[in-house]
Each structure stands twice: as C-alpha cells, then as structure tokens.
Structure 1
Amino acid sequence: MYKLIACDLDETLLDDHAHVCQRNKDAIEAATKLGVKFVPATGRGYNAIAQTLDEINLKDKANEYVISFNGGCITENKGNRIMKFQGLSWDKANELYQLGLKYNVCIHVYTKDMLYVYHADEEELNYIKLRHAYQIIDDQDLDFLKGQEIAKVLYGNPDVPYLEKIANEISSSTKDLDVSYSSNRYLEFNHQGVNKGAGLIWLANKLGIKLEETMALGDNFNDLSMIKAAGLGVGVANVNPQMKNECDFVTNADYKEGGVGEAIEKFVLNNK
C-alpha cells in the first residue's frame, strides 16, 4: 500500500489553465480517505499553490504537506508552517542573475513570498499570472533583495537547446548547485543537494513512511530525482521522452486527461 504520493503540478496534475481535472480530484479524494498523504511537489513557492490545495481539499489542513521550490522548502498546509528551508545565498543568486542578463532569457528570482521577474514577454507573463504573485523588475543586480532569503533562480526560454547551451557555458559557476529543467521552458538553479527527491526522502523519514511506500509522479527533469527516489516512479503520458526509461510506469493519459488519476486508480485504489 502506498502511503505517500508526491506529485508535480504544472504539466502533470494541472491542465493548461492551472486547474485540477475531475478525474484527478476524484482519485485524490478517494486516496486521502484511505489515509494516503497527497503531497504536491512543485518548483513554485508554497504560497503560489493555494488554489490547487483548495481544489483538492487540502488547503490549510493539519498533517498534510507541500514540497515547494523543487525541495527547497517543506511546509505543513495548516498555516503554511515551514518545516525545512534551504535556499541560495544572496551572493550566488546575484551572480546567477547577472550572468542571466547576458543571455536572451527571462529571469525568475524567488523569495519565500514573491517572484521577481526580469525580461518577460507577453506569453511568459500569461503563463506566470495563472500561477504566481509576481513583480516585474528591471534592476541590473539584486541589491534590493539583500537580507532576504532567496529560494532559487531560473532562466526561461522556450528554446530548450538554447538553455542547454547556456547551462554548458556557465557550468563553472553552477558546479556547486543543483541544476534542472522544467516545463520545457525553464533552466532552474537550487542550492546543492536541493531537489524534489531529497525533499521526498526527508518528508517520508519525518513521517515514518518507508520509501517503498511512496509514489512520485512527474513530467520533466526537475521531477526525475523524486521519480527515482520513490518506491514507484510514474511519468504521465507527456513525460519528457528522455526520462521514460527512468519511470517504473507511464500513464496512458496525459496531464490534460487525468494521468495522475489513472495512476492512483491503478496503484492505490486497485482499479485495474
């Protein structure tokens, strides 16, 4: 019996309008009634997923949890109580920000409570506004964030090979970081050792749940660490093709069709 399900949000649980489809809602509700912990595991901040928690009836619930900032923060849903936080130093975040200014990317800088966005086009802003509280900035450095805790930095561009080129060119500055890709548009930078897999392991240990009793679902490379760490690693049908061999199971349904619900039905509710 799986006791904890860690699930990515964008392009996994949520549709293109950032909502949870009915199949997923029904499966999550049935699983939680059995005592299973359903844990959103997202690159976003914990404040940015209130709508999703509300849609799956886990908002402000005690003894329910969120893994956010790609594992950089773990919170209990009741009051958004922070249990663990590990972000970037200001120096490293500022270095990444100034490196990003040299490329054709939008830049996201995440603090605990706000997303700061540099050089975002209309398409990017339309994507962000469904998911985050944000402020647009045009600063040439992050002096305005000195003294604040910074969770992570990312670069955005829908040309993934271009992001891969950037990652290679700045590798000397990121060798001490955890680097991943998400949403087929983002190159993400977290503190070394911070990833969704490490977050899943930490939370499972905290709750006394064995890793073989966990399931993880995702679609892209920032989900790979938890897919590999979990007892059962599941990719939804739209999972990055380069990750398929790392998944124990790939659903027939994609993120628009209830792939998460399909996996829960099959492996938790035993609806074959």
Structure 2
Amino acid sequence: MKEQVMGYKLIASDLDETLIGHDRKINQRNLDAIRKFTEQGGKFVPTTGRGFVSIQEDTLETLGLRGLEDQYTISYNGGMINENDGKLFKLTPLPFDLAQELFKRGLTYPVGIHVYTPDTVYVMNMTDEMMEVVEGRLRVTVSEEKSLDFLRGQQIVKILYDNPDFAYLKRIRQDFEDVEDRLEISYSSNRYLEFNPKGVDKGTGLKLLCEKLGIDIKDTIAIGDNFNDLAMIKAAGLGAGVANVDPDVAKDCDYVAESDCDQGGVAEIIEKFALK
C-alpha cells in the first residue's frame, strides 16, 4: 500500500466504464466533485484509449475543460498528450511496418480492426454489433482496405482488435509473442485488444505530464477499471479503481470504491482523498 497524502494536485481518470457510465453519460455526482477539485486548484486529466478529437463534445465540454489552456488530456493510452486548447505536447506513433503487420494479422482473425491516426478512426471487418457499440462512443470512418498503404506517410498512433468474446482475445494474445518486444499490449472494456508502441501506456503518459507541469508523481491519483489503466494505477501516488474494476486490476489498487461507474465511483474517490 502506498503512503496516502492529502493535497493531491492532479487526478488522471479513465473515461469509459470509469468516469462515464454504461448510459454513456457522466453523472452529476462526478461532475460536482470534479468541479470542487478544480476550483481548489487541482488538475483533472481525462486519460483514455480514445482520441483527443473524439472526446471534445461528450466529455471535455461536459466537464467544462474544452478549449482551455493549461488543462490536459492523455489519449490513445498515452500515445498522445494535448493541452485542451489543442496544442500538442507529445505524440508517439507506431512504426508503419509494425502497424501494417498488426493490420494484416488482424484480417486473419474474426475481429473488427480499429486503426487510429491523430484525428481519424478507421474501422474494418466490423459486425453490426461492433458498429453499434463503437458509434455510441466515437465517430469512425468505415474502410474496405486490405492494406494500410493508404495511410503510408501518416502517423498511426494505435491499432485495436474488437471482439466481445474476451476469452478469445486472451487466447490470440499469445500469437504476438514474436513482436511484443516492440509493443505495449493491453485490454479494455473486456472486448478490445489494444496495441501501442513499446513504452507507451497511461502510466508513462502520466509521468511525462507530471514532469512538464512540475508535479511530483506522489501528488497524483489515477482512477480506472481495466487493464489499459493498470500502468497509471501503479504509477500514481494513489491508484484507485471504481467498484466495477476488473478483479485482476483491483489487486494493484490502493483503494477500490464502493460505487461503480454508474453511481459516481470517481466522485467517491475524489471526496475521500482529494477535497480540502
């Protein structure tokens, strides 16, 4: 158990199934607690596997953080860090040959494929069920391409496989042992297998942002629910999970809320540890 300190200066929170409920909204309890934390000078940093562009209206606008200088978002699991006025601080793309390899391998599995550039999400091989889920979260461009050559010369930040059978994703994860020395591989929402460049995760993103802002990592809280949150949960001064956190992730949490993502679990953690 890490030593808990009062006066936390920065809170990094995952979005889907952590801050955002299953109804795809942020409940009022969470909004009130975040407002109180920011009013006392704290920084609230959305930290997500989604892209910066995709969270403008449904998240940053709702939080009152859209377009603001000196407020930040960590996106693409740490692959991109932006000031909320749009200024780019850090971008770490996948090497194109590696992205192409992941894409072509994905075509051999019964999975949907998401290819993320800094401003666009291309999706391929998607079922109706997959499209219904993804369209509730972000805008996508459907592609029939069988190669990533159409993106050659562009920056590819992340690739993701989509299948609602989480056990199946865990099985095919073993097929990537030959390239895992070049990748950070994680899961999210119990239906996504995610591929980022080696050394890119939410924990590294949090550390980089703290260095930029001159904040001691001990003065941060990280809140999440799934495996792609684990690195920041371990890195932060206080690593916490909402009540619906995956049991294997909960083992590394310093605190697990009694409230889940629908009941204001993020607010519970802020109220308990971060408000003066």
Task: State the TM-score, normalized to the length of structure 1.
Answer: 0.97
- Find 1:215's aligned residue among 217, 221, 229: 221
Residue of structure 1 equivalent to 2:243: 237
Q: Give distance in 2, aligned partners of 1:159 and 1:255.
A: 22
Q: Residue type of the partner of 1:22? A: Q
**Structure 1 CA distance, aligned partners of 2:233 and 2:39?**
24
Please list, as runs of the form range in 1=range in 2, the aligned pairs for 1:249-264 lying within 5 A after superposition.
Answer: 249-264=255-270
Give the C-alpha shift of residue 171 in structure 1.
1.7
Instruction: Trace 1:100-179 onto structure 2 (pairs within 5 A).
Output: 100-179=106-185
Q: Which amino acid aligns with 2:274?
A: V
One-letter code aligned to 1:144: F
Tell me, in whole angstroms, the C-alpha distance in 1 between the residues paired with 2:36 and 2:46: 16
For the residue of structure 1 that corresponds to 2:114, the secondary structure is: strand
**What number of residue pairs does the alignment pair up?**
269
Per mean C-alpha deviation after superposition, the further-off stretch among 153-162 and 166-175 is: 166-175
| Structure 2 unaligned regions, length at least 5 | 1-6
Q: Which residue identity does 1:63 align to in structure 2? A: D
- Aligned AA (1:152): K
Q: How does 1:81-96 map to 2 (within 5 A)?
A: 81-96=87-102
Hey, what does 2:69 align to over in structure 1? 62
Aligned partners of 1:218 and 1:234 also within 8 Å: yes
Q: Can you give the 5+ residue segments of structure 1 that lack an aligned partner in the other structure?
A: none
Give the secondary-structure state (helix, strand or coil) at the position aligned to 2:251.
helix
Structure-2-length-normalised TM-score: 0.96
Residue 23 of structure 2 corresponds to residue 12 of structure 1: no
**Is the contact made by 1:17 and 1:130 (CA closer than 8 Å) also made in structure 2?**
no
Aligned position for 1:187: 193
Superposed CA deviations along residues 12-71 of structure 1, whole A, max 9, x for unmatched, are: 000123221100000000000001000000001100111201111101011100000000
1:174 Cα deviation after fit: 2.9
Letter paired with 2:69: A
Deviates more, 1:225-234 or 1:85-94: 85-94
Alpha-carbon offset, residue 257 of structure 1: 0.7
Describe the SS at the equivalent of 1:172: coil
Corresponding residue to 1:41 among 44, 47, 51: 47
What is the CA–CA distance in structure 1 between the aligned matches of 2:200 and 2:175, rounded to whole Å?
22
> Matched residues in 2 for 1:122 and 1:29: separation?
38
State how far apart, in whole Å, the 2-side matches of 1:108 and 1:170 are.
17
